[in-house]
Amino acid sequence: MYREDIDGSIAHAVMLGTQGIIPVEDCEKIINGLKQIKEDITSGALLIDPDAEDIHTFIEQTLTARIGDAGKRLHTGRSRNDQVATDIRLTLRKECEEVMDMLRHLTDTIFNKAHENENTIMPGYTHLQRAQPITFCMQLSAYVSMLERDMGRLADAKARMNYSPLGSGALAGTTYPINRAMTAELLGFDGVVENTLDGVSDRDFCLEIASALSILMVHLSRLCEEIILWCSWEFKFVELDDAFSTGSSIMPQKKNPDLAELIRGKSGRVFGDLMALLTAMKGLPLAYNKDMQEDKEAIFDAIDTVKMCMTALDPMIDTMRVIPENMRRAAAEGFINATDCADYLVGKGLPFRDAYKATGELVALCIKEKLTLETLPLDMYKNVCELFDEDVYKAITLETCVKNRIKK
């Protein structure tokens, strides 16, 4: 967070000099000194002292050691409270942008995999029971929609967070003639936090981002759970590249979807980060309390975990091999065209509940005779309902079911 701390301090110094609160020559020394410190830390020429109280103190002390008394003027009209609140907003703004970029790329990867399989028929499930025929494109596109909403939530949280608390001071502002709008503009904020007490005492922006990340991890976890199922021999709808699977130490036939399992497990870690933030904030009186130092570990861990999961999931899906014939075979079983059979009768004029009952009788008959709706003879159809005709066989093909039901 040293970059954000230095950027915030430079903006503060520019404002102090412009407002005549500190001499212009001291302002220039401070700005040049801070830029050099930033460059030195980035290059490794300056190592952060692990014994320093915090990064903010280290930078200010280093500045003063380098430029003398001018460095002591930097903190004029500022408290550590509004300084830290500004730094964390700047850091999270950048992190949100990075997460959204990664999420956008992951969404594109899933979208591309979906549209490679526009005509790949598979069973759609409810209660993990085969329900109706769909395409693999439709299945994956559902996750595209979820992830697009996740991007929207992160963008909304970022927009609400993008207001500057700098100038709030410890809690009640400052007597110096500062220009908060100037520092807000210099730092790319959309405005200032109007109430200075609010500016230093709340971390709801951390809560909101952690909540958005938790919902994102719910979606990634659900997708990984499906991939885990699809990889099993009970389904065998997809096969993961060896780079994202491992074998068993004792069972030579095993190919375990480890990475998908790990992402599913990591979701709990992000949920825990959200709960830690909620618990830390829930009983705090205004304004600042030391409990709020717990915000950074939790929110940064949540961000790091989400980024790590997306980094792994993106290429895993990109290289995932789809097995259309297995999906088609599964879709052909389980009478998942029964609803379409009932709809066929409705189209012939039969009330839906009567059509539903008749189709139920047909399914029971198929099970008894070890047949499917596609192979059941027409005379058996007519024994149940005279409205059936030869065109029923076309109406209940999986291709017809999918074509008639799925709308772009």
**Residue 245 pLDDT:** 85
Residue 306 clears pLDDT 90, i.e. is over it: yes
List residues bridging with 122 in a β-sheet.
Answer: 134
Residue 407 clears pLDDT 70, i.e. is over it: no
* Averaged pLDDT for residues 357-379: 95
- Which entry of 168, 245, 248, 267 is annotated as an active-site residue? 248
C-alpha count within 13 angstroms, C-beta hemisphere, residue 408 = 3
Domains of the chain by start residue, with CATH = 2-76 (1.10.275.10), 88-169+194-329 (1.20.200.10), 334-405 (1.10.40.30)
* Averaged pLDDT for residues 385-404: 94
Q: pLDDT by residue (tens digit) across 221-260?
A: 999 999 999 999 999 999 999 999 876 556 656 688 999 9
The two structure tokens encoding residue 222 = 């659900």
Please answer whether residues 48 and 149 qualify as being in contact, where contact means their C-beta atoms are separated by less than 8 angstroms. no
Residue 123 dihedral angles phi and psi, to the nearest 5°? -75, 135
Q: pLDDT by residue (tens digit) across 48-92?
A: 999 999 999 999 999 999 999 999 999 999 999 999 999 999 999
Nearest in space to 155 (alpha carbons), one of 118, 106, 78, 103: 103
- Which entry of 127, 145, 211, 249 is annotated as an active-site residue? 127
Residue 408 clears pLDDT 70, i.e. is over it: no
Of 254 and 357, the one with more pLDDT: 357
Residue 354 clears pLDDT 70, i.e. is over it: yes
Percent of the chain scoring above 70 in pLDDT: 97
Nearest in space to 143 (alpha carbons), one of 99, 181, 178, 111: 111
**Residue 406 pLDDT:** 64
* Averaged pLDDT for residues 149-175: 97
232 is catalytic: no
Mean pLDDT in the chain? 95
Residues 6 or more apart whose Cβ sits within 8 Å of residue 404: 340
**Residue 251 pLDDT:** 63
The two structure tokens encoding residue 30 = 């401070």
**Residue 246 pLDDT:** 72
Residue 333's pLDDT band (cuts 50, 70, 90) = confident
**Residue 81 pLDDT:** 96
* Averaged pLDDT for residues 205-217: 98
75 is catalytic: no
Task: Look at the pTM and tell me if it is higher than 0.85.
Answer: yes
Q: What DSSP character marks residue 292? A: G
